[in-house]
Structure 1
Amino acid sequence: MSPRPHPSTAPGFDASLVERVLDDALTHGSRVYAIAGLQGSGKSTLAAQVAALARSRGLRVAVLSVDDAYRGRAERQRLARTVHPLLATRGPPGTHDVPLACATLDALRAGRPTALPRFDKLADTRLPPSRWRRVGEVDLTLFEGWFLKTPSQAIEALSTPLNRVEREEDPDGTWRHYCNDALARDFPALWSRIDRMLFLQPPGFEAVPDWRWQQEAALQASARTSRRGMDRAQVERFVQLFERVSRQALHCLPSIAEWTLPLDRQRRPIG
């Protein structure tokens, strides 16, 4: 089965690295192999390349993104009304349907036929189940996402706003506490489904706004729709919603992931 294409400006990783990643998954007997990386790091591109190589070897592969488990727009709008307005925006912990992601990975691991949820980022809502790709038994699931296995922060770390969005739109910390609580409470169950993880480590969070803008431009260029995506200013604000958890990932994941691969500003592996 072919994974859906993910618009990206990443030109693709070297074939030798793709082979190393697949061999890393197979050598360690991984049924669910995770590729983590901050926004725009190339994780979707790498997952697609690894899946293609695995299929060329006769393996059955599924590709799933944590982004495809986002709650739909209507459900996030309900959270925005009842908890905090920032929860209308997809992305941070607390805006995902974690039980759906867990059930999907469990079905794939068990070899049961299942449908892979899909989220339309330009429409900003999950596609209806009738449009989800159905798969049968697979040998390997590649699970990719920007904050996989990132632990929650200590409560005292939440007291000081990190950027303009937090200062102006979450001055009392309600939103960031909600997201942090969700990260601590809901996501360990999802992380437990991962057998092994590769972390694509950027040179710093400062690379992310440029990478995310390049990703947005590619997404819009490839879309067969009249719906408009975000402009550069909207992307800059959007990235601030991810900054706190992204910096936590940068701090923690090198010691959590079984394999950390540093990238330079052009997303080229270092070493």
Structure 2
Amino acid sequence: MATTAVDIIDDKSPICIPFILSRYHAYLSASASTSTSIPAPAPTSTPNPNNNRPKRPFIIGLNGVQGAGKTTLVRALARQLRETEGLETLVCSIDDFYLRREDQQALAESHPDNLLVQVRGEPGTHDIPLAHTFFTSLCAGLPAQIPQYDKAAYSGLGDRVPSSQWTTINGPDQPPVEVVIFEGWCVGFRSLDEGEVVRKWEDANSRTLRQHPLEHLLFVNEKLRAYDVITDTFDAFIHIDAENTEWVYDWRLEQEAMLRRERGTGMTDEQVVKFVDAYYPAYELFSDMLRNGLMPSNKPGCQLRLIVGKDRRVKQTVII
């Protein structure tokens, strides 16, 4: 299968920035109306622009199918929010919350027949207690350390970086984090009713679900329930969707072909397909829920869906 590298053009941040700012200012207004007013500083004090801002940061969840331009978008958003809007912005990834290597091995060994949890990737292979602790501190405006994960460790199997190397935020001499962008390929996925999992598994048009026993899919679905502790913190949500989800295979093949040309090494086309196959069941199970709207009914207009074509350019925008 021939592949060619394609430059990813940022046509998404000009759409996302106005959406984020509108939701952010609404968030500030709502926070001001529900919080105790802060006494005005004495006349001799230097005004603090953060006095009227809540301790809890504004949290944006960002989901994007692999290869659709998520990384390019996140970088552009963070840069504009920091440099143009003057907002202390933190970008963190769900990938940095993968289980430690020893815990991933234990999970795989305890479910040796379940191919979905033999390596990192699917829901169930993240350290949700660690994520809960991190987001609890973040929401309270307290100091916190950002976990880091080294995907190259153990010949690509990956492992968490020692905590001594993690970055601290909200420290005593640091500006408080005001905006958080939490990104990842499965960010925002919520578990389904068992009957819905069965219906999707029985669908003859499924690409990968029938490659797995139903009970293995139900295991991942059940593990996903714990992720709500993160998802429920979102004040806004951005979803980079594709007109055809199967394009993720082509996009990943393009990326790997470029890596092979630049570095002289990389996965073969067959290995890439196998790699994406490990993630694709979650797309088939949980993407429809994102498309129908993730945010609760008391947060209308807080979700932006960007539908992209094969060239990764935005073809349609939907506010939910």
Give the Å deviation of 1:247: 2.2
Superposition pairs for residues 141-160 of structure 1, below 5 Å?
A: 141-156=180-195, 157-158=197-198, 159-160=201-202
- Identity rate of aligned residues, in percent? 28
Which of 135, 139, 152 is the equivalent residue of 2:178? Answer: 139
Letter of the structure 2 residue corresponding to residue 238 of structure 1? F
SS in structure 1 at match of 2:314: coil
Asked if structure 1 preserves the Cα contact closer than 8 Å seen for 2:209 and 2:284, the reply is no
Asked if structure 2 preserves the Cα contact closer than 8 Å seen for 1:9 and 1:218, the reply is no
Structure number with larger C-alpha Rg = 2
Compared CA separation, residues 127 and 218, structure 1 to 2 (3 A): farther
For structure 1, list consecutive stretches of 5 or more residues without a partner in the other structure: 1-7
Distance 1:221 1:91 in 2: 26
Identify the residue that residue 240 of structure 2 maps to in structure 1.
200
Q: How many residues align?
A: 257
SS in structure 2 at match of 1:270: strand
Distance 1:122 1:221 in 2: 19
Relative to the length of structure 1, the TM-score reads: 0.83
Relative to the length of structure 2, the TM-score reads: 0.71
Letter of the structure 2 residue corresponding to residue 265 of structure 1? K
Distance 1:103 1:9 in 2: 38
Superposition pairs for residues 75-154 of structure 1, below 5 Å?
A: 75-85=103-113, 86=115, 87-123=117-153, 124-136=158-170, 137-154=176-193
SS in structure 1 at match of 2:79: helix
Give the Å deviation of 1:236: 0.7
SS in structure 2 at match of 1:28: helix
Give the Å deviation of 1:114: 1.6
Compared CA separation, residues 163 and 89, structure 1 to 2 (3 A): farther
Letter of the structure 2 residue corresponding to residue 212 of structure 1? R
Identify the residue that residue 260 of structure 1 maps to in structure 2.
305
Identify the residue that residue 4 of structure 1 maps to in structure 2.
none
1:49 and 2:76 equivalent?
yes
Identify the residue that residue 249 of structure 2 maps to in structure 1.
209
Structure (1 or 2) with the greater helix fraction: 1
SS in structure 2 at match of 1:205: coil
Identify the residue that residue 285 of structure 2 maps to in structure 1.
248
Compared CA separation, residues 181 and 15, structure 1 to 2 (3 A): closer
Which of 270, 285, 288 is the equivalent residue of 1:233? Answer: 270
Compared CA separation, residues 11 and 219, structure 1 to 2 (3 A): farther
For structure 2, list consecutive stretches of 5 or more residues without a partner in the other structure: 1-5, 28-56, 171-175, 295-302
Give the Å deviation of 1:202: 0.8
Identify the residue that residue 230 of structure 2 maps to in structure 1.
190
Give the Å deviation of 1:239: 1.3
Letter of the structure 1 residue corresponding to residue 217 of structure 2? R
Asked if structure 2 preserves the Cα contact closer than 8 Å seen for 1:32 and 1:194, the reply is yes
Asked if structure 2 preserves the Cα contact closer than 8 Å seen for 1:21 and 1:50, the reply is no
Alignment RMSD: 2.7
Compared CA separation, residues 108 and 96, structure 1 to 2 (3 A): same
